[in-house]
């Protein structure tokens, strides 16, 4: 990279794109250089709030823009595969939103193309870069709560009438598992590793996707995880990590920087609050800084969110879907 700042492009001017664009202000060596929408007018509207030198009315134009170093793909899940391949075809590095793809077959292909073309590609699992998640990893490494026997996570909210249509539309990869349940799965995998057995079932919407999804991971060493996601009721968006010497609670929302970590030794005892550093912004600046560092080092893969991590996550989601009966056209 020959420029003092990494030149970012954003593909798709939706809700998460706005938060990410806002957080780029906290990344000192990043510039929002280009934005692209399927509608030029929408891209212009977006750039009123988040100014960029290049405003494109098509994704193809952004991908082909030689003044862009890396593209953040912020489109619905169903489009991550084709949008990422479009960027790679034009030799762009890519940070692709979660879920990386609809299934592991697509994910494998995306990774294969990036490796063949020696381009950086990472799934935007932003939680992995947040200070509280890193603190949690440190606590587990220090064996603070002994052997971990269970991970219990709920993530649910009642969809409001103005919720994005993509959440319930099978054509756009709708359903709780790929949208919010993925955080539960990611967290359980990162704490307990690949499960030996997966059980799962859903409450299906009239269009056949999961309005609620219950997942159980079983491990030969006796550990278990119970993961529940819902679009029909509010649930505490908390994670409990239970060990032989104590318990850790990640308060709502466990995947965001607003989360606090509480350590419990014995039932009835007051929780010990674990201090975590906070900064301004939504929290997407951490992953963006990491991508910048990787690009400056000429890496093709993040050492933190590796391709292997993405494939394990995607394959686990595939198994859950197969077990519970969630299918998409791309399967």
Which residue ranges make up the site for ligand NAP (CB under 6 A)? 12-17, 37-39, 42, 74-77, 79, 97-98, 124, 126, 164, 166, 172, 179
Task: Compare residues 79 and 289 and give the one whose CB is closer to ligand NAP.
Answer: 79
Task: Compare residues 216 and 229 and give the one whose CB is closer to ligand NAP.
Answer: 229
Task: Compare residues 131 and 243 and give the one whose CB is closer to ligand NAP.
Answer: 131
DSSP label at residue 164: -
Phi, psi of 281 (to 5 degrees): 100, 175
The CA–CA distances, whole Å, from 164 to 179, 213, 227 equal: 12, 19, 24
Residue 218, token pair as written in the block: 């079983």
CB of 283 to ligand NAP, least distance (A): 8
Task: Compare residues 17 and 239 and give the one whose CB is closer to ligand NAP.
Answer: 17
Q: Which residues, 6 or more positions from 162, have their beta carbon under 8 angstroms from its beta carbon?
A: none
CB of 243 to ligand NAP, least distance (A): 28
Task: Compare residues 58 and 323 and give the one whose CB is closer to ligand NAP.
Answer: 58
**How far from chain centre, in Å, is Cα 291?**
14
CB of 123 to ligand NAP, least distance (A): 10
Instruction: Give the burial string for 168-195 (b: 16+ CB within 10 Å, else e).
Output: bbbebbbbbbbbbbbbbbbbbbbbbeeb
Task: Compare residues 38 and 90 and give the one whose CB is closer to ligand NAP.
Answer: 38
Task: Compare residues 42 and 105 and give the one whose CB is closer to ligand NAP.
Answer: 42
CB of 150 to ligand NAP, least distance (A): 26
Instruction: Select from 124, 7, 118, 11 the least CA-distant residue to 63.
Output: 11
CB of 245 to ligand NAP, least distance (A): 32
Residue nearest to ligand NAP (CB): 14
CB of 144 to ligand NAP, least distance (A): 27
Task: Compare residues 98 and 307 and give the one whose CB is closer to ligand NAP.
Answer: 98
261: enclosing H helix or E strand? strand 261-264
CB of 124 to ligand NAP, least distance (A): 6
DSSP label at residue 160: P
Instruction: Select from 8, 70, 7, 82 the least CA-distant residue to 38.
Output: 82
CB of 266 to ligand NAP, least distance (A): 35
CA–CA dist 254, 232 (Å, integer): 19
CA–CA dist 192, 204 (Å, integer): 28
The answer to whether 74 and 17 are in contact (CB under 8 A) is yes
């Amino acid at each position: 990279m020959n420029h003092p700042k990494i030149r970012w492009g954003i593909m798709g001017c939706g809700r998460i794109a706005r938060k990410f664009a806002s957080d780029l202000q906290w990344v000192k060596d990043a510039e929002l250089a280009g934005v692209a929408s399927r509608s030029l007018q929408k891209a212009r509207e977006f750039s009123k709030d988040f100014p960029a030198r290049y405003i494109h009315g098509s994704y193809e134009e952004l991908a082909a823009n030689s003044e862009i170093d890396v593209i953040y793909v912020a489109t619905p899940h169903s489009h991550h595969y084709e949008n990422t391949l479009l960027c790679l075809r034009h030799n762009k590095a890519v940070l692709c939103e979660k879920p990386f793809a609809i299934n592991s077959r697509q994910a494998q292909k995306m990774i294969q193309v990036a490796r063949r073309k020696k381009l950086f590609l990472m799934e935007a699992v932003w939680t992995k870069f947040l200070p509280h998640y890193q603190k949690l990893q440190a606590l587990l490494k220090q064996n603070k709560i002994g052997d971990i026997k269970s991970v219990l996570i709920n993530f649910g909210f009642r969809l409001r009438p103005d919720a994005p249509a993509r959440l319930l539309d099978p054509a756009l990869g709708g359903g709780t598992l790929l949208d919010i349940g993925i955080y539960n799965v990611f967290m359980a995998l990162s704490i307990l590793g690949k499960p030996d057995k997966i059980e799962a079932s859903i409450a299906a919407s009239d269009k056949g996707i999961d309005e609620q999804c219950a997942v159980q991971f079983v491990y030969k060493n006796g550990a278990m995880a119970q993961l529940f996601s819902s679009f029909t009721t509010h649930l505490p968006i908390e994670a409990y990590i239970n060990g032989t010497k104590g318990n850790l609670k990640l308060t709502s929302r466990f995947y965001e920087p607003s989360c606090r970590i509480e350590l419990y030794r014995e039932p009835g005892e007051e929780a010990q609050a674990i201090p975590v550093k906070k900064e301004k912004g939504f929290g997407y600046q951490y992953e963006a800084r990491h991508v910048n560092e990787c690009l400056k080092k000429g890496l093709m893969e993040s050492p933190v969110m590796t391709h292997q991590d993405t494939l394990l996550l995607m394959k686990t989601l595939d198994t859950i879907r197969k077990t519970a009966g969630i299918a998409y056209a791309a399967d």
